[in-house]
Each structure stands twice: as C-alpha cells, then as structure tokens.
Amino acid sequence: MTRKPAFPHLLAPGTIGPVTVPNRVVLPAMDMNLCADGEIEQEDIEHFVARAAGGTGLIITGCCAVAYPVGCASTKEPGLSEDRFIPGLRALADAVHAAGSKLCVQMTHHGKIARIDTVEGRPLLVPSAPSGSADLSALADNTSDEMRKMAAVTGGKQATYREATQDDIDWVVRCFASAARRVRAAGGDAVEIHCAHGYILGGFLSRADNKRTDGYGGALANRARLAVEVKKAVSIPVITVGRVLPEVGEKAIAEGRADFAAMGRQLLADPELVNKLAAGTPENVRPCINCYVCVQENFWDDTPICAVNPALGNEKLLPLSPVSTPKHVVIVGAGPGGLEVARLAAERRHRITLLDKTDRLGGTLWFASLTTPDNQRLLNWLKVQVERLDIDIRLNTEATAASIAALNPDVVVVATGAVRGRPGVPGGDLPHVHTGDTLRALMTGSGDVSQVPPLLRTIAKLGKLSGITRSPAAIRTVTRRFLPMGKNVVVIGGSLVGLELSEFLAERGRNVTLLEEGQQLGVPMAMPRRWTAVRHASEHGVTIHRHATVQRITKQDVEFRVADKTMTAPANMVVVASKVSAQASLAEALEGAVPEVHVIGDAAEVDYIQGAIHSAWKVAAKL
C-alpha cells in the first residue's frame, strides 16, 4: 500500500513568471562562503546540488556581488560583475538543473555592510551618512576570541562612508542590470534582488538609514525608487520564510497566504527534506534546532557549520557506507551523542547494544528540551531513528567495565555525558543546593533523588506516577502553574545551562539571581542566540551579576563578592550550573578489557549538542 502524501500543496508544482518549479519548497539565500575570489568552487556546487537532489523545488544562492569586489561582504561570495564569473555560474546552473531543480541567483550590493570595501580602503556607499553610533552593548557577551575573529575580517580597519550621488545610483542600477544579464547567460532561471538587512537597496528603503531630501528620500515611494528601477512586473507570487516548518508551509499555501515556502536552516539540517515528505516519512526529517551555530560563522567569514548535520559544507562526508564485516558495538549512554552514534552505526549495519542507566532515552538532551523546546524536536527525531533501526536498547541498566566486557563487544563507545560538582564553599553541600543531576531528578522524576529533600522527593514521585514527567512539553506547561521550589532561586554559573535555566525559572514567577564568575554569559551558545537569551533573561527580571565570586551559602541566602563589594542574594534554592566537566572514568576502566574504546560527547569534551553530534559522526565513520 502506498502512503498518501500529507503535504499535497507543498509538493505541488508552482510557477514564478515563466518558470515552472517542481514543488513549493524553496532554499532561501544563505551564503556558504565556499567561493575563491568570487568564483564558484566545486564545494559550493555540491552544497546546492545536495539540496536539489533532496527534492527542493527552487534553489536560491546566497548573496552574489553585483559589483564584485566593490560592495561585497566577503571575497568568498560569488561575483556577478565580470564575464569571468559566468563559467562557474553555468556549472552551478547545469548541476542544479540535472538534479531536477530551478536556480535563482541572489544579487546584492552590501552597502554599509560591505566589509571588503573597508578592507580595501573604499568608503561604504550609503543613502545617507550614518548619524549616532550603533548599540553594541550585546558584544559584552562576546569572548575575546570571537572579537578577534570578527575584527580580523576587516583587518581591524574602521569603516568610512560616502553618500550616494546620482552617478552612484545610476551605476548601482547598471550593475544590477548587467549582473542579471550574466545570470541569464549562465542559464540561471531567476534572480532575487536583495532589499533587506541594511544593504544598499534595503538602506534606501529604511527610514533610519535614508535621510535624503532628493527624489530617493522622504516618502516611501521615493525611498523605494531605487529598488523598483531594475523591476517591471507587479504581480508576483509570495514566498514565505522564517522558521517555516513543513506543516506550517503546507497550511500557508493551502490557505492561500503564500505560494511558496522557503526553509533555510531546515534545509541546512536536512537536505533530503522534500524527498522524505514525498516518501510519506516526515518523521525522518532531521530537525533544525534553531541554535544559530550556522549563522555565527558568517560573522567571521567562515563556512556555516550545522550543529545537527556535520556534512554541511562538506557533502563528501556522505554517504557513510555500509560495512561488509559488522562489529558488535556497545554504546554506553543514550544522550544525543550515544543516540546519534547508535543511529549511524546501525545504518552502517553494525550490531548495536545501547545501554542507559535511566528509564528514558535522551540524557542531557531530555533535560535541555525543558528549557529549550526546539531541542525536543531533535530528541523526538533521534528516538524515532533508534527505535526504527534494529538496535538492542537496554534502559535502567547501569554499565560497569565487567558488565560491558560480558557482552563481548568489538567496540565500546562511552557517551556518559559530563559530571556535575558542587561549589567548594561553606554551605555548598546544604540540601537546598542542587546540581544539574539532582535538579534533573526532581523535574523529571528520573535518576537519583536521594539528595532531594523529602517533600520535593514526594512531589517528584507524584509527577512520575501521573506520567507528567515523561514529557518535556507537559512539564513545561504544568510548571507554569505549579513548580515545587521556593520563590527565591540563585543560579551559580551563567553559561548556556545557567542562562537558559534562569530564564525558565523567571518565566515561572521565580525571583532569580544569576551569578557568573567571568564577564560573558551564555557561552558556548552561538552569538546571535546568546545575545537574545541574555536580553530575554533581563526582560524576565533575572538579576544578573558578572564577575561574581560565591563566598558562602546559608539556608537563606548566597553571599558573593563583585570586585571589593560583598553582596547577598536571597535563596530558598541554589542551582549550581558552573561545575560541569568532561569525565570518562568508564573508558579508563575498559582499557585492555575490550578491543576498542571511544569517548564521545560531553564525556570527552563539554560541547553540548554540537559536540555530541559531531563527535558521534567522527567515531561512526571510523567503525
């Protein structure tokens, strides 16, 4: 029996002007920074072809520079300003067509963001000279390494600006027109004109950036004049973009609110999206977790990395080929790293035994799904994958070196996660001081609750009996009404976990104080997400102290120092999110007892979801 496609609107052909697109899924423009001096390289072609072969109807390239190298943000973006760029464009168009998709080229002049103009000593072309200075307060949460990498892109040079004259405007129009002719000559199907992000055309459109008093400034019709001077058509289909999941795109098209659905990061995470929808297996689409790791790389001119898809930018990694001599692989720990290595190794036809000491799959990812709902999509996907594959899953199974050796493995993968300690200050062992482990036990009803006070332990048990603690979504909802913890909470440690947890608790009416020993909050979250998380925490009323050193914890409060000032914060509960470290003592105990041992994920190096998935791929490729 064939499965009926659940996405009839999304998978139906559509037209944009004279171009017929095989379905309504669009890869929106995302720069990959894989070109050399404006010329399209093979890796760039492979990236787009993977998405075309995965069924995407229309492929839009990332920014291509209409006046290369003038007005461009990177010399790794494709150029459109000379005929020497046509062969590369043609190779891309041919390859995308051969894979069954249509190609649209995004044309750009980066205006005030044209970093290469600054590098090469040219002033940035803008509608009006900028007045005032930009708000850079979010950079307080950048590490010195990040600041150094961002500054390196412009060689540390300061930008200068030049207000566009009529000649400049005429030149911009000519550049866009000639670029479009080159795209057509190369066999491209369409062009997209970039009018956002503060680039030149977006700059003219913006009231904040455009203070002109001539025919290109003032009323909207004037500000839009430059953008419409290269455009004749007025009746155009609508492509919607921005966290459009397949079901959202399907609904928008069915209701006539959009004609096409662009899915950017989702197609970075899984290039096979459309083929999987068409096969009736949407549950197999690897979800994007909205972590912004990919976006971050653009800040320092690198190729995007995907936290959940290590093949992004390096499509040659795939496929991981099946083995002719399967091994028995025992995996200890069913967190994100353990589940991913189990999936990949099983797909390579190894025999897998997956052990976890708790009563559920997911490990830290399960807990991280409470504070960050997007993580739950990855958790669900990993569960579906390991459950559909022939994997021997053993929960509630504490592994020892002896019990593992008794399974006769050829390979053991230790994915037991990080260890979490207590602060070595007076009061650090009081019962209301929780580590990630005891807090997890309390919230999920899973794991060791012996350190949890009796009343809370009873509540945790009730939650478990009622089934609430089996679902992160249910816990998120229920804890908005009832959260078994006191009013005042101090979170020690403002990295990823501490920051997300503070926001979660503050959203649920807790008076939260966050103490961070260093300057930066939210590391190692990717920068754009970190900036948002810090802002959200403040908006939810979290009191933040940076450079804060905890002195002692009492039953009522936490005493800490900032510079030479001693302060206290009230605390009925203290959560320690700072003492997280990698440890794989099991791997040491297994040395010599089994033929091959690997350590992945936080047990090897604390690097959360990205580290878990990427290290899982490295090991799985070698098995």
**Rounded-to-integer distance, Cα 239 and Cα 117, Å:** 32
Please say whether the beta carbons of 244 and 7 come within 8 A. Answer: no
User: Is 216 annotated as catalytic?
Assistant: no
368 binds ligand SF4 (CB under 6 A): no
User: In which order are the strands placed within the sheet that holds 25-27?
Assistant: 190-193, 102-108, 58-65, 25-27, 260-262, 239-240
Q: Are 246 and 273 in contact (CB under 8 A)?
A: yes
Give the pairing of strands 565-570 and 239-240.
Answer: unpaired
Residue 268 or 533 with smaller CB distance to ligand FMN: 268
d(CA 54, CA 271): 5
Compute how many residues bind ligand FMN; rule: CB under 6 A. Answer: 20
Site string for ligand FMN, 237-276 (x = CB under 6 A): ----xxxx------------------xxxx----------
Give residues with Cβ within 8 angstroms of 458, minimum separation 6. none
d(CA 114, CA 510) in angstroms, rounded, equals: 45
- Binding segment for ligand SF4 among 247-255, 283-291, 403-411, 583-591 (CB under 6 A)? 283-291
Does position 288 interact with ligand SF4 (CB under 6 A)? The reply is yes
Closest distance to ligand FMN from the beta carbon of 113 (Å): 11
Query: Which one of ligand FMN, ligand SF4, none interacts with residue 269, CB within 5 to 8 A by kind?
Result: ligand SF4
Q: How far is the CB of 195 from ligand SF4 (least distance, A)?
A: 24
Which residues are paired to 582 by β-bridges? 418
Least distance from ligand FMN to the Cβ atom of residue 265, Å? 4
Contacting ligand FMN (CB under 6 A), which of 31, 507, 516, 602? 31
Q: For ligand FMN, which residue has the nearest CB?
A: 264
Which residue, 240 or 502, is less far from ligand FMN as judged by CB? 240
- From residue 289 to residue 328, the character string flagging contacts with ligand SF4 as x (rule: CB under 6 A) and all else as - is xxxxxx-----------xxx--------------------
Is position 106 an interface residue for ligand FMN (rule: CB under 6 A)?
Answer: yes
Sole binder of ligand FMN in the list 69, 71, 304, 463 (CB under 6 A): 304
Measure the CA–CA gap between 544 and 516, rounded to whole angstroms.
8
The number of residues making up the chain comes to 623
Q: Are 350 and 327 in contact (CB under 8 A)?
A: yes
Burial 324-335 (b: 16+ CB within 10 A, else e): eebbebbbbbbb
Give the strand pairing for 548-553 and 557-562: antiparallel
Matching residue, tokens 């064939």 = 2
Q: Which of 68, 199, 292, 608 is catalytic?
A: 199
Interface residue with ligand FMN, options 294, 365, 485, 491 (CB under 6 A): 294
| Contact residue for ligand FMN among 298, 479, 502, 513 (CB under 6 A) | 298
Contact positions vs ligand FMN (CB under 6 A): 28-31, 62-63, 106, 194, 241-244, 263-266, 294-295, 298, 304
Contact positions vs ligand SF4 (CB under 6 A): 265, 268-269, 288-294, 306-308
Residues carrying an active site annotation: 199
